[in-house]
Structure formats: C-alpha cells, structure tokens
Copies of this chain bind each other. A is one copy, B any other.
Amino acid sequence: MSATIIDGKELSAKVLDEAKTEIKGCMIRPSIAVIQVGDNPASNSYIANKEKVCSSVGIYFRLFKFEDGTPELSIINKIKELNNDEYVNGIMVQLPLPVQYNEKRLLNTISNAKDVDGLTDINVGRFVNGKKSLIPCTALGVMRMLDEEGIEVSGKDVVIVGRSKLVGRPLATLMLNRDATVTNCHHLTKDLAEHTKRADILVVAAGVPNLITADMVKKGAVVIDVGINRVNDALCGDVDTAEVAKKASYISPVPGGVGPMTVAMLVENVLTCYNAKNSK
C-alpha cells in the first residue's frame, strides 16, 4: 500500500484559477499590503512567493519593507495609513518580527476588516465564538486539502502537533467545529508517539525535520505535513514522507503540499476582504 499524495500545487492552482477569473471582472483590482521589518532570508523568500502568486491572479501587491531598528511608531503609522486607504483590501505583517518589536500591538493595529492573516484579537474572538471572521491561511489551507480530497473530519481522532497561533490553535478550533475529537500536542508532550499513533488525521506543524517516522503513524492515517525546514539547502517538512507514505492513506508532501495552499488561502482572504468592502 502506498498513500495518495495530496498535491497542494494542483489544488492551489484550482483555487487560484477561480480567483483569477473573479478578479478579471473587477474594475478596481483587489490589493494587499505586506509589512516587513528587517531582512530575514526566509521571510524574503515567503514574501517573494506571495508577490508572485498574488500578481499572477491579478492582486495588486505592495511590500513596505522597514529596516530593523525603525521606530515601532513609524510602522504603526504606516499600518494606520493603510487601514484608511480605501484601495488597500488586505494588510499583513510578515512574522517573525525582530524581537524588540511588540508583535501583538502591531498586529492589533491592523483593521479587522483587512486582517488577512486573521490574527487580531477581534478576529480570533469572533472565530472562536463561531462568528464570521478572517481565519489564518495555513489552517484554512489544511482544511481545504482535506475537503478537496473528500476526507471526512467529523468524529475522527485528529492529532495536531504544534500549538502556534498561526497553525495549531486555529486548526484545533476548525477541527473541533467540524466535530473531530482534537488533541493538541507540543514539545512538552510526554509521549508524542502514543498520541500520533492513534490519529486518524495527523497534522504536524512543529518545525522539526523528520520528527514523525513511520512507527509513529497508524496504518491508513491521513498525514498533513505543515513543517517547512531547510536542511542542507533543501526544503523538507516534519514528516519522513518516504517511509510514512508506505503506511498512510493520504499524505501531503513538503514542498508542494500545505505551502501552496497557504498562499492560495491568502488570495481567498484578500478577496473576502475585497468583497466585504464592495458589498457594503
């Protein structure tokens, strides 16, 4: 037995095609503004990819790059200016920020209506309280992959490794809202394998290369690898894909899995903001 590969590139191409068609009909182009502080190489590469994808579907992409050391107030003022700019639909602050910046304050300066990363207090509260809100892209991307493959979530034992606000936590809420039994593991979990071995659906977002080996996975499980690690200049996830694929029923690879889906969900979130504004 060998797992079906969940092809994030192919699935995202479908989402992006639909977005492109929709945007062709827009008189004013949907737009996104990305705030970057410093020159983190991984961030540079993520942002370049976002720009490429957004531009390819017709979203007007702007990067506001600040030197590390720029006063926080200057960045806050830029965000406020973008909040008030009616031609800006989505705003995101690329994380991580250099440590001296107050991440929570910067994120919460973003208008809730433009918060395409879904990280402001109000968006998180609305989300957890079951109301319409913007939701973090990676978590949305994972759900979309499962949905597109027709994988049922309700009643399933879902184990999520990682508890970040961008992936682990929002994904737990999404899964719980869809009636899964959800376990959140992390680096302080006593016996990680004990949990991963009983997962019907295993989502790994730990940032540890090869954390999940074949002996830690149940036969027939669905395995979604959210890790993005650079090892010897190559990208790899948190899962030993080659070996786990022999046991799993579905597996998403890195690269070419959740990554492309995340950017596709960013495009969808920009369109959500755009449409909410223009339907007012």
**Any chain B CB within 8 A of the CB of A154?**
yes
Work out how many copies of this chain go into the complex.
2
CA distance A84 to B259 in the complex (A): 48
**Nearest chain B CB to A194 CB, angstrom units:** 8
**Nearest chain B CB to A73 CB, angstrom units:** 20
**Any chain B CB within 8 A of the CB of A124?**
yes
Residues of B within 8 A of A156 (CB): 190
The chain B residue sitting closest to A127, CB to CB, is: B125
A126 and B125 in contact, given A163-B176, A182-B183 (Cβ under 8 angstroms): yes
Interface stretch (choices A19-27, A115-123, A140-148)? A115-123
CA distance A47 to B46 in the complex (A): 53
Q: Is A157 within 8 A of B126, CB to CB?
A: no
**Any chain B CB within 8 A of the CB of A181?**
yes
**Nearest chain B CB to A15 CB, angstrom units:** 27
Residues of B within 8 A of A129 (CB): 104, 119, 121, 124, 165
CA distance A176 to B169 in the complex (A): 10
The answer, among B120, B181, B185, for a CB contact under 8 Å with A184, is B181
Q: Is A125 within 8 A of B131, CB to CB?
A: no
The answer, among B128, B154, B176, B179, for a CB contact under 8 Å with A124, is B128
CA distance A188 to B131 in the complex (A): 22
Q: Is B189 within 8 A of A155, CB to CB?
A: yes
**Nearest chain B CB to A112 CB, angstrom units:** 10
CA distance A189 to B157 in the complex (A): 8
The answer, among B120, B130, B154, B163, for a CB contact under 8 Å with A188, is B154
| Main secondary structure on A side of the interface with B | mixed
A interface bracket (residues with beta carbon within 8 Å of B): 35 or more
Residues of B within 8 A of A185 (CB): 181
The chain B residue sitting closest to A183, CB to CB, is: B183
Which chain A residues in 144-174 approach chain B with CB under 8 Å?
154-157, 163, 165, 169, 172
A186 and B179 in contact, given A104-B129, A122-B121 (Cβ under 8 angstroms): yes
The chain B residue sitting closest to A128, CB to CB, is: B124
**Nearest chain B CB to A116 CB, angstrom units:** 16
Residues of B within 8 A of A50 (CB): none
Q: Is A181 within 8 A of B165, CB to CB?
A: no
Instruction: Write the residues of chain A forming the contact surface with B, with a CB cutoff of 8 angstroms.
Output: 104, 119-126, 128-131, 154-157, 163, 165, 169, 172, 176, 179, 181-186, 188-190, 194-195, 198
- Between A and B, 15 residue pairs with Cβ closer than 8 Å are A121-B122, A121-B129, A121-B131, A122-B125, A123-B125, A124-B128, A163-B176, A176-B184, A176-B186, A181-B184, A181-B186, A181-B189, A182-B183, A183-B183, A194-B198
